[in-house]
Amino acid sequence: PELIRNKKFILVNLTAEEEKFTRTLQEGLKEFEKEIKKLGDKEIEGMVVFNLFQSYGFPLELTRELAKEKGLEVDEAGFEEEFKKHQELSRTAAAGKFKGGLADHSEKVTQYHTATHLLNAALRKVLGDHVFQKGSNITEERLRFDFSHGEKMTVEQIKQVEDLVNEIIQKNIPVECAEMTAEEAKNKGAIGVFADKYGEKVKVYSVGQFSKEICGGPHVKSTRELGHFRIIKEEASSAGVRRIKAVLG
């Protein structure tokens, strides 16, 4: 039933992904041609091969085949070195994050984190159940929220979402937390990434009947602590994914 309900969204996104892949492939081929013109008869450097991989999705095998057609060699050892450096940087960045919640528990970040729950629920009510969180970034100045949706939001839809969030804020609804199994959370209608492996128990944060999500926290005690919610930007993040930036004040 869910696939049938979201058929249009899925088809639109498949087409968009196909177009994006073709466009990226063409851009990557142009970049490859540009780089080999600089090199002449030299070996293609590891950094160049890694850039083609990271920026255009070219696997090493593809670059190797393209180079072979031009009678060139590829610095595979250099590519592996760049790849390892990238992995190490990613690990270092990930180490600073708190698994299951936010590392920064400051008051403002806590407010913005709670606001993402209200935003997610409001988007699903205005746009439909195909909306799911695809990513978020929270600072003390603003929130950034990525979500699945294939079209640019209209001015009316943005206002509807803002109004819904602010209505819940003004109602001063308590933010409640309960521990349960992932299966119980799913049965109660909580939003979560159920493809992920959760522990024996999960925390479910609820804002009345408006929002219910599996989350590690932290959250405010009641919605009025958030003040006023305002969307400052709505834009494309990637194919089939939109991005909202919003502030509280």
Q: Which of 95, 119, 137 is the last residue of a domain?
A: 95
Between 71 and 88, residue with greater pLDDT: 71
**Count of domains observed in the chain:** 2
* pLDDT > 70? residue 2: no
* pLDDT > 90? residue 54: no
pLDDT in tens, 132-157: 998 889 999 999 999 999 889 999 99
Q: Is the pTM of this model over 0.85?
A: no
Task: Note the pLDDT of residue 200.
Answer: 79
Residue 235 and residue 135 share a domain: yes
Residue 132 and residue 74 share a domain: no
Task: Note the pLDDT of residue 24.
Answer: 78
Most confident among 71-85, 113-127, 180-194 (mean pLDDT): 113-127
**Mean pLDDT, all residues of the chain:** 85
Residue 112 and residue 83 share a domain: no
Residue 209 and residue 172 share a domain: yes
CA distance 80 to 64: 13
Give the relative orientation of helices 107-127 and 155-170 as an angle to the nearest 10 degrees. 130
Residue 225 and residue 125 share a domain: yes
pLDDT in tens, 179-219: 999 889 989 999 986 555 567 789 999 999 999 999 987 89
Residue 178 and residue 66 share a domain: no
* pLDDT > 60? residue 19: yes
Per-residue 3-state assignment (H helix, E strand, C coil) for the chain: CHHHHCHHHHHHHHHHHHHHHHHHHHHHHHHHHHHHHHHCCCCECHHHHHHHHHHHCCCHHHHHHHHHHCCCCECHHHHHHHHHHHHHHHHHHHHCCCCCCCCCCCHHHHHHHHHHHHHHHHHHHHHCCCCCEEEEEECCCCEEEEEECCCCCCHHHHHHHHHHHHHHHHCCCEEEEEEECHHHHHHCCCECCCCCCCCCCEEEEEECCCEEEECCCCCCCEHHHHCCEEEEEEEEEECCEEEEEEEEC
Confidence of residue 86 (pLDDT cuts 50, 70, 90): confident
CB atoms within 10 A of CB 167: 14
The whole domain housing 200 covers 107-248
Task: Note the pLDDT of residue 6.
Answer: 63
Task: Note the pLDDT of residue 95.
Answer: 44
Give domain status of residue 141, yes or no.
yes
Q: Are 46 and 82 in contact (CB under 8 A)?
A: yes
